[in-house]
Structure 1
Amino acid sequence: MRVAIVENTAITHHGQVGVALHEAGARIGLYRPFADGRLPELAGYDALVVFGGEQTACDDAAYPYLPVLAQRMRAFSAADRAVLGICLGSQILARGFGGRNILGATPEFGWCEVALTAAAADDPVLGALPPAFAVFQWHSDTFTLPDGAVHLGRSGAVAHQAFRLGRATWGTQFHFEANRRVVADWTREFPDLTEAMQPGWAAAHPGLAERLGVEADRIGLEIARGFVAQI
């Protein structure tokens, strides 16, 4: 299988998604439009994965590729290619299908609980998960659900944590790809940002990783494998 991956920031970890793609023997086309504006074309790819970034989903002045990427995600979905948007990627996906981006209103950081909706029980990716689980979050923005989206998950702070469109298009606000190694690297690379999101994070991180990270890693890999199975 051929999978296009879009990175939206200079330090991007594929984490559990990368593990699942490697297990499946996927061939990767890597795009970094924040640096050169290039985006994948529909021809030649079986799936599209869009990761997170520090920008907002509608910061078109600084990142003019964003509206094009939103429509490209919609085009992949319309062509029955599997599509996955994580964090910023989910916000761009929602935008591409007519959802409204809401900026700065919903900060979440760390391993936070997400609860699945009743509709998730029949979802091919999330259906086998427990009804609630801890998973890593790092965001301040959210979105309204596009028309026709199946609402799959929520948290106490954010109503729209996961959704599906059509057969095989998913958006997750939460960073299920962020395993403990990824979170540890973020903590080292971005100490000022992580402390700003959660004061005392550096000191608390090791204990939280031990208490919550092991199960979050398992959940994240199960989601990643479930998505890859839909490609």
Structure 2
Amino acid sequence: MRELLAHRRYTGPLIEAGKAAKLLHASDSLRLMILDFQPGELSAGSEYEFDPEFHRQAGAALKLLHSQAQCLDPGYEARLTQKFLVLLEREHRIEPAACRQIEQMLRSYEPQPAVLVPTHGDWQPRNWLADQGGLRVIDFGRFEFRPAASDLARLAVQQWRVRPDSEAAFLQGYGHDPREGEAWRIMQLREGLGTAVWAHQVGDRDFEAQGLQMLAETLAQA
């Protein structure tokens, strides 16, 4: 279980900083874990969702997670390319012309070895608690080793579009911008494709619309 692995091995720096819950008990056989209570309210929909200072805290907290380990994976990007080419064949509502462009972009992309770090997988305000203005992080259910920039993908198409100053504050807290040229554009393409296909399959029209919009914007920049 991804979340259990995260709490057993990689949330330590966040716990020390008062940003994440302690793991109290866990059972692999029961797929069960008990975490310490985290005070606060979800920042999504609150005054903190777009607040630059809160985003600065989020950037600094993410750096604590990412800085713990790294590995070089020569085949990571190539495996993802094949995965998303298969995903493109599933049922969805992406226009045929867009599908052809997506396939062309994925097949023509020349992946480089990827540096992978411990990532949250859904780093955004719906997983940030605001505790009297202080940030706390929840839900490590999508934890995995990925490129660092992947944890910026949702923020880039949601909150940072509305508040560029929050993006600047986040990057100040993180210490630098991990997004890099073509790799970032392909990452956004995959995020949009995965969102559009998954949301269509589960009937989430709003999330599907976000995925389609992500795809349209990425393709327009190609």
* Structure 1 or 2: more helix by fraction: 2
Q: TM-score, normalised by structure 2?
A: 0.31
* Structure 1 or 2: more strand by fraction: 1
Q: Which of structures 1 and 2 has the larger relative contact order (alpha carbons within 8 angstroms, sep 6+)?
A: 2
Rg larger in 1 or in 2? 2
